[in-house]
């Protein structure tokens, strides 16, 4: 018997982290690799919450760094499962910088990651269905299907 669909908000994840000097490059901005690490962690939390098992990263789509995040800023990451396939799911992660002094928040990066649900032996397991409810969730659900088709077509090339 298939599992009941889970709402998007049941697995959403949010992380915050203060940018310290050991996270920064010589310009005083957070390292891109550090941002990518945080994106992977936040996405993995949302994926694991949704599937109830370990979730491993299978791919990361293109990622731009639109604005620098400076030492002393807070990095805010928000992750949501966009769509579920059989044993995999697409998770979208948005990255923001927040000034502790002014409260100003800027959207600095976004990424789409594909996670695969696995059991304790590392074997793929089915992922419970997703139930998008809001118009935004339904839009992201449809867009995730188109991105998956593009990923699969690229893999075959």
pLDDT 10s digit of each residue in the chain, 157 long?
Answer: 568 999 999 999 999 999 999 999 999 999 999 999 999 999 999 999 999 999 999 999 989 899 999 999 999 999 999 999 999 999 999 999 999 999 999 999 999 999 999 999 999 999 999 999 999 999 999 999 999 999 888 888 8
Report yes or no on whether pTM surpasses 0.75: yes
pLDDT at 2: 64
Classify 153 in phi/psi space as left (phi over 0), alpha (psi -120 to 50) or beta: alpha
The whole-number pLDDT of residue 125 equals: 97
The span from the CA of 129 to the CA of 135, in Å, is 18
Tokens of 18: 């203060």
Please give the CATH superfamily to which domain 6-156 belongs. Answer: Hotdog Thioesterase (3.10.129.10)
Query: Is residue 49 within 8 Å of residue 13, measured between CB atoms?
Result: yes
Beta-strand ranges (E) seen in 1-157 are 6-7, 13-18, 54-60, 74-84, 88-98, 105-118, 130-131
């Amino acid at each position: 018997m298939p599992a009941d669909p889970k709402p998007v908000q049941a697995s959403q994840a949010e992380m915050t982290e203060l940018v310290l000097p050991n996270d920064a490059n010589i310009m005083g901005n957070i390292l891109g690799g550090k941002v990518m690490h945080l994106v992977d962690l936040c996405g993995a939390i949302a994926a694991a919450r949704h599937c109830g098992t370990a979730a491993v990263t299978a791919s990361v789509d293109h990622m731009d760094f639109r604005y620098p995040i400076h030492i002393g800023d807070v990095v805010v990451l928000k992750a949501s499962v966009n769509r579920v396939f059989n044993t995999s799911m697409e998770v979208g992660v948005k990255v923001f910088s927040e000034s502790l002094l002014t409260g100003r928040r800027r959207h600095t990066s976004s990424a789409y990651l594909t996670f695969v649900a696995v059991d304790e032996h590392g074997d793929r397991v089915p992922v419970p269905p997703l139930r998008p409810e809001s118009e935004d969730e339904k839009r992201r659900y449809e867009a995730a299907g188109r991105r998956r088709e593009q990923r699969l077509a690229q893999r075959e090339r």
